[in-house]
Structure 1
Amino acid sequence: MLTIPNVTWLDLLCLTGVGIYLVKQVNIKKNPAPYPPGPRGWPLIDNILDMPRIKPWLTFTEWGQKYGDITHIEVLGRHMFVLNSSKTALEMMDSKSTLYSDRPVVPMAGELVGWKDSMAFLPYGDSFRQQRKNLHRVIGSRAAVNVYNVVEEVETRRFLKRVLAKPDQLQEHVRHTAGAIILRISHGYEVKENNDPFVDLANCVLANVSQATAPGAFMVDILPFLAKVPAWFPGASFKRISRKWRETLEEMVSAPHKSVKDRMADGAAPMSFTSNLLEGRDMSAEEDHAVKWSAFSLYSGGSDTTVSAIYSLFLAMTLFPDVQKKAQAEIDAVVGPDRLPTFTDRDSLPYTDALVKEVLRWSVITPTGFLHCVTEDDIHDGYYIPKGSFVMPNIWFMLNDSRTYANPSQFNPERFLAKDGKDPETEPRTMCFGFGRRICPGIHLAEASIWISTVMSLAVFDISKVVENGIEITPNVEPSPGTISHPKPFKCSIKPRSATALGLIEQEANY
């Protein structure tokens, strides 16, 4: 009878460590410069035990305070550099973007779950450039995004009505609206009012990938050879998880794309990102594949991040009523009580614009960003960064760095306004949307969605703490784990500001 030895993860780590140690001894060479400082690793397994799994950005911040702006660790022969300075991140990933724009192979999310064809995971090359070109045509500038202002405004008005009807389901309303806007743009699809199959499917897919890409969440990302083990192998539950997540992803990528092609064949497809790329072209399977994944990249890159920011706005307004009152006073003075704000008011509302920036700084959407991979050896600030290394920007610390922001723990939109002869503080968009050639291509669309949600919501709603049994409930600021972080669910009171505001909310919103 075949018996399976009782193999533990520690056994595998030790065996892997021994193998890597022997390889190092064979291939040992003198580096042209020292590595940056970092925590001292263990024999054979290097820094594998130092890798944090819970709120990794806080551990990375401690490393930065101890070791400097670049921290070096080594995990089973793979070098990783954590950046704790926006200046350093811009110097490396913007100024030297040809070296720092690749993506590493991510075994769990990319290979096993199947995200490797999405633009965020693609290696820097022809496929990446084609998808980025496709997206740039549609949302690559503020002028291009303005085409979708009506969609944004109408869906946000519908959002106000949903919140009015069921304020206790705020997070669901935010998700529904973000999905409605992106699906309308990407596939010309108008979502159902309740339980829309594509919105529900997309939310599931995005929650899965956030878990799959969280630093240290899956051992297969540290020991890639585990991808080859069978699902019955002890400790290989990740294989069963990835199979389930892959099926959900494939359905989300293919079903909306097929829907567009079917409607085009019937002559009934509304204008959309997908229909524009498919129109009048006899496409090869490879070209069709690129269009399908470009559209999905548009959705996946824009919806979940927007959800996090808008939900964070309501949390901030619950906690900081004085800021809310200042924004409402500006909106009242510029817009007046007889209509809802629109994008035409944007340039006349500087405090509200600064409020959106402060939300992006205060509640960091991607605390540790996405891994970059180095394509050639580099020496930066006298330190050796070898080819194939991983580079991780600690965006959370960059947006909470007292060298960049005065009193970073304070929620203060005025930091982004010129005042008393002082220049505004650094725009958070230079960090929170990524770096170099990997910067989010949907930055203008995301900013527009967050802004219109902010200004319309504050025009008609008062947001405050809930009172239960005579006691005011103060929400905790607790970010969720995952690559894309959200505030954990919280309670707040959302009520119309006046009878006039109630009337504006109840007006019909039609395309």
Structure 2
Amino acid sequence: MSFSVLGPAAAGLAVALLVVSRILAYRKSITPYLPPGPRGLPIIGNVFDMPNSKQWLTYAEWSRQYGDICSVKILGQPLVILNSARAMEDLDRKGATYSDRPKLEMGGELVGYSKTVVLMPYGAALRNYRKHIGRLIGSASAVGKYLDIEEEETRKFLRRLSTSPNELSAQLRKLSGSLIMKMTYGIEVLANNDPFVTLVEDANNNFNIASTPGKFLVDVFPVLRFLPEWFPGGGFKTLAREWSKAFNDMVDVPYNVAWQQILTGTAPRSFVSAALENEEKITSEYIYEIKHTAGSLYGAGADTTVSAQHGFFLAMVLHPEVQKLAQAEIDAFVGPDRLPGYADREHLPYVNAVVTESLRWHNVAPLGVPHRATEDGVIDGYLIPKGAIIIANLWNMLHDPEVYPDPFTFNPSRYIGKETQRDPRHFAFGFGRRVCPGMHLADASLYICIVMSLAVFDITYAMEDGVPLVPVHENTNGTISHPKPYKYNVKPRSAKAFSLISGP
């Protein structure tokens, strides 16, 4: 370009514009872009591309079209989806940047779950809550203090199930609820229709619905939270009010019982009693912290364990050959005269592999809980902008045929031998700095339930007119996903096995 025909001012402006254009072109060549994804519409973006149910299946299909990382925009809000272990590991290495939670108006703010560990923003308060949980169950050695309680509660579960074999779901919830209540509050639950177990079930059901991203329009348009309850479209406010009460009851009611026991000197050792034994610490802020930490343990923690245990029973119905191998291992090492316990774990490698495969085969949280980027970052060469919501498709990672060949088959042998497949616990318990603080307790609870159930029961198909009813493994929708209801048959393996769980 020649500037000789221009005046000095115009020539100077032209040179400046040329320099700026070259700089912009250079920056464009090195600046990463958002990951690819389905093409959206102006303004509203990908609103109509978003699935209403089983989102993990749609996201898995997108991964085959667009790669391990893909993205969409909902009314300008970027949503980044990670579909592979490799992508998640890259994010894991930058945990502080990607460990925040998006603000969920319905489940987090209106109902109240942003006060608990699961939806709390990343920061000092979250670290305090996690420290409290860590002292109770944050390591294998800490959980070891409660193994006797776990085994005793599981024996009670087996006895109840033997007399009410058609109530597996209810009995699993009772097992998990009784353990958490005893550890957290020092409360012994009732044998039937316990009000505390009912509290947690109601609150967990509400959480599952309220925390699903995009389930409520107020999550997309936060200004709607200011609508009056009676105004057209304000019906979600009625739900939020009812669910908020259920949440507060879950936090307050068992805590108040534990506090009364402390005042009367009758409190057994528990998380709450230990946290409040130092009177110098007891301030209104500290009590708030302890109450909501306890609620975090009692809430989603119980439901995830129930889901994993329920998945195990379904796997045994569908894979009797696995059940027989595991029972043979238990019989050979433990024998017929006692129940197996946690102390036997290192001597039962196949049973331990059944536990591991249970965590993979039925993933209790197919999409985990969404994360949020607190600053711009780059993953695999793609831009992850500040404020982007990040969803890890854990279901796809745990069913990736390149990592787990024949991924829909329940096969514990994946983890035995010289060339074992990848341990799924990293995916199953979250990522970044939001790894489940109760993972050691959940793993121990699942093992004890599995090994003792296998020792006592045969878990088989239900029969109808002499024909076996073969169930199908399907996940329910929601943040915490259970197997869809299925038919089964549970009966003691022998009179000797039944005698091991009889008694008070």
Contact map agreement 1:340 1:504 (CA 8 A) in 2 = yes
Contact map agreement 1:353 1:451 (CA 8 A) in 2 = yes
Contact map agreement 2:87 2:380 (CA 8 A) in 1 = no
Q: Distance in 2 between matches of 1:463 and 1:61?
A: 32
Q: State the Cα deviation string for residues 290-329 of structure 1 (Å, max 9, x = none).
A: 0101111112242000000111111111111000000000
1:487 alignment counterpart: 483
Q: Distance in 1 between matches of 2:192 and 2:310?
A: 19
The residue type paired with residue 39 of structure 2 is R
Q: State the Cα deviation string for residues 388-415 of structure 1 (Å, max 9, x = none).
A: 1110000000000012111111110000
Contact map agreement 1:84 1:393 (CA 8 A) in 2 = yes
The residue type paired with residue 243 of structure 2 is W
Q: State the Cα deviation string for residues 352-388 of structure 1 (Å, max 9, x = none).
A: 0100111111111000111101011112222111111
Q: Distance in 1 between matches of 2:378 and 2:458?
A: 53
Q: Name which of 119, 136, 139 aligns with 2:137.
A: 139
Q: Distance in 1 between matches of 2:139 and 2:100?
A: 24
The residue type paired with residue 124 of structure 2 is D
The residue type paired with residue 41 of structure 1 is G
1:115 alignment counterpart: 113
Please list every run of 5 or more consecutive structure 1 residues that lacks an aligned counterpart in the other structure: 1-28
Q: Distance in 2 between matches of 1:460 and 1:372?
A: 41
For residue 215 of structure 1, report the CA deviation from its aligned partner.
3.4
Identity %: 47
Question: Are 2:247 and 1:246 equivalent residues in the alignment?
Answer: no
Q: Name which of 257, 270, 280 aligns with 2:268.
A: 270
For residue 507 of structure 1, report the CA deviation from its aligned partner.
3.3
User: Secondary structure at 1:189's aligned position in 2?
Assistant: coil
The residue type paired with residue 342 of structure 1 is G
For residue 268 of structure 1, report the CA deviation from its aligned partner.
0.5
Q: Which moved more, 1:375-384 or 1:396-405?
A: 375-384
Please list every run of 5 or more consecutive structure 2 residues that lacks an aligned counterpart in the other structure: 1-26
2:87 alignment counterpart: 88
Contact map agreement 2:229 2:238 (CA 8 A) in 1 = yes
For residue 258 of structure 1, report the CA deviation from its aligned partner.
1.0
Question: Are 2:155 and 1:157 equivalent residues in the alignment?
Answer: yes
Contact map agreement 2:90 2:380 (CA 8 A) in 1 = no
**TM-score of the pair, normalised by structure 2:** 0.93
**TM-score of the pair, normalised by structure 1:** 0.92
Q: Which moved more, 1:432-441 or 1:474-483?
A: 474-483
Paired residues, number = 476
Contact map agreement 1:379 1:385 (CA 8 A) in 2 = yes
Q: State the Cα deviation string for residues 26-84 of structure 1 (Å, max 9, x = none).
A: xxx97932111001011110111111111000000011111001111111111110000
Q: State the Cα deviation string for residues 443-469 of structure 1 (Å, max 9, x = none).
A: 000000000000000001001001111
The equivalences for 1:406-421 within 5 A come to 406-418=405-417
1:71 alignment counterpart: 70
Q: Name which of 103, 106, 114 aligns with 1:105.
A: 103
Q: Distance in 2 between matches of 1:160 and 1:280?
A: 38
Contact map agreement 1:318 1:492 (CA 8 A) in 2 = yes
The equivalences for 1:294-373 within 5 A come to 294-373=293-372
2:500 alignment counterpart: 504
Contact map agreement 1:52 1:216 (CA 8 A) in 2 = no
Contact map agreement 1:301 1:440 (CA 8 A) in 2 = no
The residue type paired with residue 100 of structure 1 is Y
For residue 233 of structure 1, report the CA deviation from its aligned partner.
2.5
User: Secondary structure at 1:347's aligned position in 2?
Assistant: helix
Q: Distance in 2 between matches of 1:363 and 1:382?
A: 32
Contact map agreement 1:188 1:270 (CA 8 A) in 2 = yes
Q: Distance in 2 between matches of 1:410 and 1:280?
A: 52
Contact map agreement 1:104 1:371 (CA 8 A) in 2 = yes
Contact map agreement 1:53 1:215 (CA 8 A) in 2 = no
Please identify runs of 4+ aligned residues in structure 1 that moved more than 6 A. none
The residue type paired with residue 371 of structure 1 is P
The residue type paired with residue 439 of structure 1 is V
For residue 236 of structure 1, report the CA deviation from its aligned partner.
2.4
For residue 137 of structure 1, report the CA deviation from its aligned partner.
0.7
The equivalences for 1:194-273 within 5 A come to 194-273=192-271
For residue 235 of structure 1, report the CA deviation from its aligned partner.
2.5
User: Secondary structure at 2:232's aligned position in 1?
Assistant: coil
Q: Distance in 1 between matches of 2:500 and 2:382?
A: 59
1:470 alignment counterpart: 466
Q: Distance in 2 between matches of 1:263 and 1:231?
A: 39
